[in-house]
Structure 1
Amino acid sequence: MVFTPYLKNNMLKLILLIITLNFTLSSFVLAQANLPKVPETGKPETEARPGGTRTGNLEDNSCNSATSLNPVSLLAQGSRDFTASEFPSFWFYLPYTQQQVENIEFILKNPEGEQIIYRTSVELTNQPGIRKVSLPSQPEYALALDTDYLWELIIYCQANDTPNPDIKLEGWITRVEITGEETAVQPVYQSYIAQDILYDAVTQLAQLYHQNPDDQQYQADWKELLELLGYVDLIEKPLVLDVP
């Protein structure tokens, strides 16, 4: 077969085009393979899933025998949760009495080093309700700025005779810095809500509402905050803060 100069020129262009396309495709595939996996909610990648993940059988354990509601964190709804406090409080709805639960343990970790920052047992009473776990105001428990911390709430039901918990809640908290001007709005919890610092918004409003249960403004604001957090079914649940 005889190739004319025209055909030779076109074939050369075709070969160069094929080589170029192959190189481009290979580069694209390599780049895709080297891309980091994007966490679902902007949290650091660890074995634990972010956003208030629950594990365990919530439908078939003795803890749930007297209630239709499950334990939940008022925060950690799959979005990034913030605090401006070195020693924040963590809020949970626990539908149990002390007779139904063998033990509840709260753990705060620095996930980068798998270091346990704080560990404590959660005391229950005879009244189910919304409770808090607060970090002690001591330097060794202080949260560093711009650091993600993993918390866990581990629940052992009364009939559990194994080392495995029946239920585990987990989520993330990050401390951020704010200025006095950013909290100039009164009441301060409204400023926290506007800045998405929901841990502190819940803490301040819950304490004010607990101290002033007949205040209509606090009642309305507490209802709106629970609606914002997606917990309409907890609006009528009591705040149980006076735990011995």
Structure 2
Amino acid sequence: MNISIALLAPLFSLSLLTPLTFPALAQDAPATGIQSRTTHIKFEPPALGNAPGGRSRGGASRGECPAATLPLTAIVPTVNGGVGGLTTADQPSFWFYVPYALNGDRSAEFVLLDDQNRYIYQTTLVNGESDAIGITQVTLPATVVLEKDRLYQWVFMVNCEIDNPIFTRGSIRKVTIDPVLSTKIQQAEALEQVRLYAENGIWFEALSTLAELKTAKPGDAAIALEWKSLLQSVDLTDIADSPFVP
């Protein structure tokens, strides 16, 4: 089901949005291999001006949505009251913890808007008859390309009740990274790529790269430990043990 523009409008206040400042990589920073790591992966947030608004948690039970142990959660950092992060991808992936089965009884909806409040992308998520709950992924299609240095807003809603959905919202900005950092990432192994992204404030690639590793190797204890460490660094430890939902 589609959510009307009129319903979405109160969720946004573009006047609150200000540019995200990307921190430059220190030119003399040594390249570190996985074997030399002495600490676990942690996210270092980029410098922010006046923080953009947002809502990372969807709240408790509303309307027809049943009570849940953990709330609907956008897996993004909250920095100085602002919910969102940076990406280097044309079509980044967004990750959410959904405490409800998205089957015939309810669906979820993802909406992306540009800085002029125009719809860029909208999709509905339903997992057939599955009762599975957990972490789900939304990836932008090839027809949607984020523009460099432009701030976008997204909303993710669970439609238990069409007039009163549970929702999270935040922002994303595409940036171009320093050539030195880009080279290090290209030459690094997967876990080291996650570390480099995280230490340089690139949340969406840090999360997606690690999530893909975790789903590919669900029994790998080292990857599971780094997953928990990354989520702990942005105060999302409570969903770290949640399964991934196809």
TM-score by length of 2: 0.70
1:119 aligns with 2:122: yes
Task: Indicate if the aligned counterparts of 2:62 and 2:164 stay in contact, CA closer than 8 A.
Answer: no
Q: Distance in 1 between matches of 2:104 and 2:132?
A: 11
Structure 2 counterpart of 1:70: 71
- After superposition, where does 1:206-225 map in structure 2 within 5 Å? 206-225=211-230
CA shift at 1:215, angstroms?
Answer: 1.2
In the other structure, the counterpart of 1:152 is: 155
1:44-89 CA distance string (max 9 Å, x none):
xxxxx6233567x633433233x22110100152255100000000
Deviation at 1:111, TM superposition (A): 2.4
> Which structure has the highest helix share of the two?
1
Q: Could you say which residue in structure 2 is the equivalent of 1:59?
A: 61
Q: Trace 1:5-154 onto structure 2 (pairs within 5 A).
A: 39=16, 50-52=53-55, 58-65=60-67, 67-77=68-78, 78=82, 81-99=85-103, 101-112=105-116, 114-124=117-127, 125-138=130-143, 141-154=144-157
The answer (yes or no) to whether the contact 2:83–2:169 under 8 Å persists in 1 is no
Identical aligned pairs, as a percentage? 27
**Does the 8 Å contact 2:62/2:166 carry over to 1?**
no
The size of the alignment, in residue pairs, is: 190
Please state whether the residue corresponding to 1:142 is helix, strand or coil: coil
Correspondent of 1:181 among 173, 180, 183: 183
Q: Secondary structure at the match of 2:148?
A: coil
Query: Partners in 2 of 1:53 and 1:215 — Cα distance?
Result: 28
Q: Which runs of 4+ in 1 moved over 4 A?
A: 38-43
Q: Distance in 2 between matches of 1:203 and 1:86?
A: 14
Q: In 1, distance between residues paired with 2:86 and 2:57?
A: 20
The residue identity in structure 2 corresponding to 1:145 is: K
Distance across 2 between alignment mates of 1:215 and 1:108: 34
Once residues 107 and 100 of structure 2 are traced to their aligned partners in structure 1, the CA distance between those partners, rounded to angstroms, is 11
What is the CA–CA distance in structure 2 between the aligned matches of 1:41 and 1:72, rounded to whole Å?
23
Q: Calculate the aligned-residue CA RMSD, in Å.
A: 2.4
Higher relative contact order, chain-length normalized (CA < 8 Å, sep 6+): 2
Structure 2 stretches lacking a partner, 5+ long: 1-14, 21-51
1:111-145 CA-to-partner distances (Å, cap 9, x unmatched) read: 22x2111110012331100111000123xx10000
**Larger Cα-atom Rg:** 1
Pick from 190, 195, 205: which aligns with 2:210? 205
Q: Which moved more, 1:179-188 or 1:71-80?
A: 179-188
TM-fit CA distance, 1:231: 1.0
1:182, distance to aligned residue in structure 2 (A):
4.6
| Amino acid across the alignment from 2:198 | I
**1:146 aligned partner, one-letter code:** D
